[in-house]
Structure 1
């Protein structure tokens, strides 16, 4: 049963309530010492009952957030190079996608612990985006090429009143789309088919090395609009669950917040730690935002949380990190005020996954 959604926290009460939560550490047995097990990506499944971590040492692990011991986790094996991105299907809570420098995207069924599809997308795949309805997956390579992947779910016919077991989905790579400029992180809009709009226009947002964000129409890959967001490279991106704001993290240490109704930048926020923002995440209600910086020193003074509507800094999570540690990834729980983050290790601070709020199954 998924953890229930709690009451919304007012900005004025956030620090008091969130600051009272305990932080749980998760030790991966693959971590042999500093620098050997840097987590590059973390992702919650849609119900928030599982969290996945992908590491540069090829370790892909599924954790139960309420049981920190490794024996309650599952390691999925198959990639033969570092894992750059993990992402659960928004429409299927047991389906996980991962991409790696080995040139493959793999789809996993975390219930059966098996790889159900292996897709060759070319060398140095490093980013993934899944459409809100789970029917499209887009992989990005370091040569600035986007590769769409279609997801087809065959129907299960009814025979003599009995419904056959569902057939596995079919994954197929489509024609690649080379980009003319450096292309970094991507994310889809929240559009989901409905009875009134069975074929909604999907928008893909892509950050670039020129400080812009391209709003791309899918499946045509036509650039509809370009946001001139930062004075240097845009590295990370996240759409609020409410759809109200698009957050863009840049190498200039800023997170800019764009109103999706008129594409005006309403405000920018910046952590006192500085450093390039390589990850960004909204809380389930879209009201709080946090960024990740994996540079040395970014993790030592904690993780700063901002109120999206005002840009105010409302709380700093104490990580216990030293002056040499960084935060390589952050991800809010999909329905609770639980914050997962990955800290890089040095000789005085153990790295790995940590979750604020999950200790003891309590939290907000």
Structure 2
């Protein structure tokens, strides 16, 4: 896969000039010109590695959008994506469980992973419409993997060959996607290992790999983030800087910061050369809890979402400058944003939580 062309970096003082005239484009599953005022319950957003596709999940369904074609007729639906059927069962599914997370493989365009309340991880080839396996709609299910319990998060290793899948009871599965064995024309993952994390005060909410893939950042209920060695999962260090639970974590694409979002409505920015908190991004008027965050492709800008707590926040999506913590622009919204995701190579910003469906700022522009 050839690397996508990157936009030129916008300096802090130039950012508002380019973004102020832009209006978010609605990607709605409804064909009605007047969408429902109730925001759909989108649980996850993910860009493909080239940024040509965006995946969302709502209820039991997943949908893959072309990033510059907001009409629902141009999208691909995976209906009842986690129905009891498909690769493992060999029969079409009828009813599906809730899909909690979707995530594109970081190295292979069109390969999507999903996980949900059925205790399964499923791999899809979204480039093969009309070849549905076990679901109604389009897309091909390539392989299944049992985790044995309700899934809470899913994250890819930067090499695109391993995944970590966390259950709500703090059991974490490491999946090697290369280990597939064909049985009667089907394929299925083999779990390479299963890690039981500490219970009690170390309840896990999310995990993210470092840029090198040699470490894993794990958020905890006590407000800290544990840095673990991969693949041994042994404890290396703890980042403690929040008075409430730490819900989300990400390393800047340039590697200079690790950002941690917390239930105290702040994002702490950790300098990775000193492993100290240099500054904090604070927006208590926007969200009461930071449960999702995203860096722009150049690491210059950060946005935050409230996840399922978005009903407790207020409208408006703040874009922070990563180095200073200043708000450089605020996108007007009807409701508090829930999930957010920057395009991998451009200043295009996808967010959920508003009426009608997902919105993308900058789509189709040269930014």
Q: CA deviation at 1:318?
A: 0.8
Aligned pairs for 1:288-327 (under 5 A) are: 288-293=301-306, 294-300=309-315, 302-319=316-333, 321=334, 325-327=335-337
Check whether the contact 1:153–1:169 (CA below 8 A) recurs between aligned residues.
Answer: no
Q: CA deviation at 1:59?
A: 1.6
Check whether the contact 1:152–1:169 (CA below 8 A) recurs between aligned residues.
Answer: no
Partner of 1:59: 61
User: Helix, strand or coil: the match of 1:17?
Assistant: helix
Aligned pairs for 1:2-17 (under 5 A) are: 4-17=5-18
Alpha-carbon distance between aligned partners in 2 of 1:33 and 1:173, rounded to the nearest angstrom: 42
Aligned pairs for 1:273-292 (under 5 A) are: 273-292=286-305
Check whether the contact 1:30–1:37 (CA below 8 A) recurs between aligned residues.
Answer: no
Check whether the contact 1:342–1:351 (CA below 8 A) recurs between aligned residues.
Answer: no
Alpha-carbon distance between aligned partners in 2 of 1:211 and 1:93, rounded to the nearest angstrom: 35
In the alignment, does 2:177 pair up with 1:204? no
Partner of 1:82: 98
Partner of 2:134: none
Partner of 1:164: none
Q: CA deviation at 1:15?
A: 1.1
Alpha-carbon distance between aligned partners in 1 of 2:162 and 2:38, rounded to the nearest angstrom: 34
Partner of 2:362: 357
In the alignment, does 2:70 pair up with 1:44? no
2:269 to 257, 264, 267: 257
Partner of 1:144: 170
Q: What TM-score, normalized to structure 1?
A: 0.86
Change (3 A) 1:30 1:101: farther
Q: CA deviation at 1:326?
A: 2.8
Aligned pairs for 1:142-291 (under 5 A) are: 142-152=168-178, 171-180=189-198, 181-191=202-212, 202-271=214-283, 272-291=285-304
Partner of 1:160: none
User: Helix, strand or coil: the match of 1:16?
Assistant: helix
Alpha-carbon distance between aligned partners in 1 of 2:187 and 2:156, rounded to the nearest angstrom: 15
In the alignment, does 2:33 pair up with 1:19? no
Q: Superposition RMSD on alpha carbons, in Å?
A: 2.2
Q: CA deviation at 1:33?
A: 5.0
Partner of 1:106: 122
Alpha-carbon distance between aligned partners in 1 of 2:366 and 2:220, rounded to the nearest angstrom: 37
1:126 to 152, 155, 161: 152
What's the CA shift string for 1:342-361, capped at 9, x where partnerless? 015xxxxx241000011xx2
Check whether the contact 1:151–1:170 (CA below 8 A) recurs between aligned residues.
Answer: no
Alpha-carbon distance between aligned partners in 1 of 2:44 and 2:156, rounded to the nearest angstrom: 15
Q: CA deviation at 1:30?
A: 10
What's the CA shift string for 1:296-318, capped at 9, x where partnerless? 25252x10011001111111011
The answer for unaligned runs of 5 or more in structure 1 is: 155-167, 193-201, 345-349
Q: CA deviation at 1:262?
A: 2.0
Partner of 2:348: 338
Q: CA deviation at 1:175?
A: 2.7
Alpha-carbon distance between aligned partners in 2 of 1:95 and 1:20, rounded to the nearest angstrom: 34
